Amino acid sequence: MNVPTVLVFAGLDPSGGAGLAADITAIGALGAHALPVATALTVQDNNRVHAVQPVDAAFVIRQADALVDTCRIDAVKIGIPGSADNAAAIARLLRRLRAANPGLPVVLDPVLASGNGDALGRGNATDALAELLPLATIVVPNLPEAQALGRLPCAHVLVTGGHGEEDIITNRWLRDGVEARAWRLPRLPHTYHGSGCTLAAAIAARLALGDAVEAALDQAQAYCHQTLAHAFRIAPGQRIPRRILQPHRAH
């Protein structure tokens, strides 16, 4: 039996905490399979992004075309496009995919900067996302990103509240601009590298598996919270979400 697939556009994080590494493990942990397309190479650790080198837009699409021509695509997840050219190329591909499958779920994590404010691509990050936002089924911004982007031209938005300081984090689901539901989760005591990637990838996985939007949001947030509750250290500073919650142990 074929496993549902998620076509993923994101950057490569050598620390393994965010980007493609986060997407692959989260999607796999929830029972789907990631098809990872690299949009950018980065120099980063678990705390800071030191440099970003976008992949050429034509090569991004060559990566994706090889998969699209072979595999059934059940959902798409987009992280950093790396450049405006890449975003435009991904948008053209999405329109082609939607022509064949109008209900294809697209999850967009609108990352404007790293948690420490480091740039994650060339040019203005908000401008680069402009062509992708109307194509998204759901956008998953944190509160500062939502404020920077303004009213989003898509049916579903999950605004996450982790950047505040309250003891209870509130994530709000907006459907056609109106709050449809809120989830309240206890704030955990550490900071985390790749939490947003984990959540967006988990939503994409659940949509690929056939969940309706509300069920996908419910399942993905519960999973993401557990990955953070069991996060681990690879160095001082931000912790890495434990996306594979029950690792195999050799006997």
Instruction: Quote the radius of gyration of the chain (alpha carbons, Å).
Output: 17
Asked whether residue 19 carries a pLDDT value surpassing 50, the answer given is: yes
Asked whether residue 123 carries a pLDDT value surpassing 70, the answer given is: no
Residue 158 lies in a domain: yes
DSSP state letters, 163-216? TS--SEEEEEEEETTEEEEEEEEEPPSS-BSSHHHHHHHHHHHHHHTT--HHHH
Residue 240 lies in a domain: no
Instruction: Work out the pLDDT band at 251, boundaries 50, 70, 90.
Output: very low
Q: C-alpha distances in angstroms, 196 versus 28, 42, 53, 56?
A: 16, 17, 21, 25
Number of domains into which the chain is organized: 1
pLDDT of residue 162: 79
Residue 89 lies in a domain: yes
pLDDT of residue 117: 54
Residue 39 lies in a domain: yes
**Which domain covers residue 176, as residue numbers?**
5-229
Q: What is the pTM of this model?
A: 0.94
Residue 82 lies in a domain: yes
Residue 216 lies in a domain: yes
Which pLDDT tens digit goes with each residue over 192-222? 999 999 999 999 999 999 999 999 999 999 9
Q: Round the average pLDDT of the chain to a whole number and report it.
A: 92
At 16 the three-state DSSP class reads coil
Sole residue written with tokens 């993401």: 224
Residue 234 lies in a domain: no
Residue 248 lies in a domain: no
- What the block records as the tokens of 104 is 């294809």
Which pLDDT tens digit goes with each residue over 140-189? 999 988 988 888 889 999 999 977 778 899 999 999 999 999 999 999 99
Average pLDDT for residues 84-106, to the nearest whole number? 97
Domain containing residue 50: CATH number: 3.40.1190.20
Instruction: Work out the pLDDT band at 128, boundaries 50, 70, 90.
Output: confident
